[in-house]
C-alpha cells in the first residue's frame, strides 16, 4: 500500500519542512490566536495528556471530526481519559507537525504517523 505522496510520484519533501513552516504570509492576530488554541489541543492535551485544558479551549458543544470519538467537550475528555498519561508540559512538541496551515478559523495539521504496512507488516 502506497501513501498518497508515493502514489502521486511527488518527491519526498519531508526532510525540508519544519513545524509551522507552511505559512506563505503573515497570520492575522486572530489567526495566531486560533493557531495557539489549536496547538494547545494538539500538543498540550493530546501529546502531553492534560485533558483539563480542554475546559479552557473547547466549547461544550465541540464538534469532533473523528466518528470514533464522541462529540462535545465532555465526550472528547471521556474518550481520551482512557489513553491520557499527563506529563510535564513543555513548549516543544513531542512529535511536531510536518506542516501547519492556518486560514481564518481553520487550522490544519499534517502529521507523520508511521505504522505497519497492512499488506506487508515487515515494512
pLDDT at 24: 56
pLDDT at 65: 86
The predicted model scores a pTM of: 0.71
For residue 67, name the pLDDT band (cuts at 50, 70, 90): very high
What dihedral angle (degrees, nearest 10) is formed by the CA atoms of 103, 98, 93, 70?
A: 60
pLDDT of 99 above 50 = yes
pLDDT at 118: 79
**Distance in angstroms (rounded) separating the CA atoms of residues 74 and 35:** 22
Q: In whole numbers, what is the pLDDT of the chain averaged over residues?
A: 83
What are the cell numbers at 88? 510535564
pLDDT at 8: 44
Q: Which residues pair with 103 in a beta bridge?
A: 106
Amino acid at each position: 500500500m502506497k501513501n498518497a505522496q508515493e502514489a502521486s510520484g511527488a518527491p519526498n519533501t519531508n526532510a525540508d519542512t519544519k513545524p509551522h513552516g507552511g505559512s506563505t504570509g503573515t497570520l492575522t492576530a486572530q489567526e495566531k490566536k486560533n493557531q495557539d488554541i489549536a496547538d494547545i489541543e494538539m500538543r498540550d492535551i493530546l501529546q502531553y495528556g492534560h485533558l483539563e485544558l480542554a475546559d479552557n479551549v473547547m466549547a461544550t458543544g465541540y464538534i469532533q471530526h473523528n466518528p470514533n470519538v464522541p462529540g462535545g467537550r465532555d465526550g472528547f475528555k471521556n474518550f481520551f481519559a482512557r489513553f491520557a498519561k499527563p506529563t510535564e508540559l513543555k513548549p516543544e512538541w513531542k512529535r511536531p507537525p510536518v506542516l501547519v496551515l492556518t486560514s481564518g478559523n481553520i487550522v490544519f495539521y499534517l502529521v507523520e504517523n508511521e505504522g505497519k504496512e497492512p499488506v506487508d507488516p515487515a515494512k
